[in-house]
Chains A and B, each alone.
Chain A
């Protein structure tokens, strides 16, 4: 039940975000899909005891792969899809709690949470970059096979 609930809400939330960012209407559905896949991966990993940072890396990585697939298929910039997918992963809740503890003078806990938020932002970046690297390796190896065939 929770899974279905999460699937539906993450799909709608990601698609709604694309509307806020004035994304093209024809890609709304695909953006929703990308966001849904990323969030469900993160959610399942996190609820099954995987560390938050690792879960974020894996989710961001799969979001980037899915975005690149759609970008290539529909010849649109990759950013339209990846933004929709990344938004749910942004550590809004943790940074919020960090801020709250800062204001309530609990600096130890606040610094703890802020560091965690920073780690998660970094892991989103790592996930994105990893997939970019793999994409380029694939492109290069494809290029090589084409060159080899033509020789």
Chain B
């Protein structure tokens, strides 16, 4: 009896760790719930009920003993699609019976402690390149590529810096987009850039909450109304912060 109890808690620990990593890395709610239930089922806990919201996970497992429930809080959320893919891979291996509970926990722990696969400068460079490319996609001139490249890169770098300085998302997004607006204005006024609008649109794209919008809609359609609304509100707030930052620039015109 005592052994069985301990094992149920171990299964729950593995499920919760997997769910936590996925949720923190930007997976859709239905995927998190599905993964947790699959892992629990393949370790022998047939009846499990995960309740996942963007800010916390409730998980309960039914069995012969009294039902056990655990709750964990999710405070920080980033986007790390590689971790989502890795946890997904581990869950597949668990379903295939390749891992014991301890091994699975160790593997998940490894994923949760692993850092980003790209360094900071690769991120900034990617943001800069995508800003330049978006400028061309939105019918800008190649002459504006360089200003958009620099503005987008520095804007993204400042987003990361401000977020480290003050961990309030709204503030860092507002400051980053304000900086983007000012830089674009600077480039246009000294004559390097041509179209102010196009440069700003291109450079702002790395900040746009595209992942959040997609996830919010998917969650809503899958019936996860609370998660969908919460993510939608998050996306709206980000869009508002960016808009407000750019609006301040316009008031200087």
Min CB distance, A141 to chain B, in Å? 21
The stretch of B2-10, B52-60, B119-127 that contacts the partner chain: B119-127
> Is A87 part of the contact surface with B, judged by Cβ < 8 Å?
yes
Set of chain A residues within 8 Å of B250, measured between Cβ atoms:
100, 103-104
**B247 and A102 form a contact (CB under 8 A):** yes
> Is B17 part of the contact surface with A, judged by Cβ < 8 Å?
no
Give the A-B pair count, Cβ closer than 8 A. 143
Query: Of A43, A96, A104, which contacts B246 at CB under 8 A?
Result: A96
> Is B45 part of the contact surface with A, judged by Cβ < 8 Å?
no
**B122 and A19 form a contact (CB under 8 A):** yes
> Is A112 part of the contact surface with B, judged by Cβ < 8 Å?
no
Query: Of B137, B221, B246, which contacts A39 at CB under 8 A?
Result: B137
Set of chain A residues within 8 Å of B221, measured between Cβ atoms:
125, 129, 132
Rounded to whole angstroms, the CA-CA distance of A25 and B116 in the bound complex is: 11
**B197 and A79 form a contact (CB under 8 A):** no
**B217 and A124 form a contact (CB under 8 A):** yes
**B88 and A76 form a contact (CB under 8 A):** yes
Set of chain B residues within 8 Å of A75, measured between Cβ atoms:
88-89, 92
> Is B191 part of the contact surface with A, judged by Cβ < 8 Å?
no
**A16 and B133 form a contact (CB under 8 A):** yes
**A82 and B136 form a contact (CB under 8 A):** no
Q: Please give me the residue from chain B that is nearest to A96 by CB atom.
A: B201
Set of chain A residues within 8 Å of B83, measured between Cβ atoms:
22
**B217 and A93 form a contact (CB under 8 A):** no
B contact residues, range: 35 or more
> Is B239 part of the contact surface with A, judged by Cβ < 8 Å?
yes
Encode A102-114 as 1/0 by CB contact (under 8 A) with B: 1110000000000
**A90 and B211 form a contact (CB under 8 A):** no
Rounded to whole angstroms, the CA-CA distance of A93 and B138 in the bound complex is: 8
Min CB distance, B95 to chain A, in Å? 12
Min CB distance, B124 to chain A, in Å? 9
Set of chain A residues within 8 Å of B117, measured between Cβ atoms:
22, 24-25
**B214 and A83 form a contact (CB under 8 A):** yes
Q: Please give me the residue from chain B that is nearest to A17 by CB atom.
A: B130
Encode A18-50 as 1/0 by CB contact (under 8 A) with B: 111111110100000000000100010000000
Rounded to whole angstroms, the CA-CA distance of A95 and B88 in the bound complex is: 35
User: If A128-B214, A128-B217 touch, does A24 touch B82 (CB 8 Å cutoff)?
Assistant: yes
Q: Please give me the residue from chain A that is nearest to B196 by CB atom.
A: A100
**B81 and A79 form a contact (CB under 8 A):** yes
> Is B210 part of the contact surface with A, judged by Cβ < 8 Å?
yes
The stretch of B25-33, B36-44, B103-111 that contacts the partner chain: B25-33
> Is A119 part of the contact surface with B, judged by Cβ < 8 Å?
no
Rounded to whole angstroms, the CA-CA distance of A40 and B205 in the bound complex is: 18
Min CB distance, A121 to chain B, in Å? 6
Set of chain B residues within 8 Å of A82, measured between Cβ atoms:
214
Set of chain A residues within 8 Å of B130, measured between Cβ atoms:
12-13, 16-17, 20
Set of chain A residues within 8 Å of B138, measured between Cβ atoms:
93
Name the 3 nearest CB pairs between A and B, nearest first.
A13-B133, A16-B130, A19-B126
Q: A22-B83, A79-B26 are in contact. List 15 more A-B contacts (CB 8 A).
A: A9-B136, A9-B137, A13-B134, A21-B211, A24-B81, A75-B89, A77-B84, A97-B197, A100-B250, A103-B247, A124-B214, A124-B217, A128-B214, A128-B218, A129-B217
Interchain Cβ contacts under 8 Å between A and B, 17 examples: A5-B136, A12-B129, A13-B130, A13-B133, A20-B123, A20-B126, A21-B81, A23-B81, A27-B85, A79-B27, A79-B84, A93-B201, A95-B243, A96-B204, A100-B250, A103-B251, A128-B214
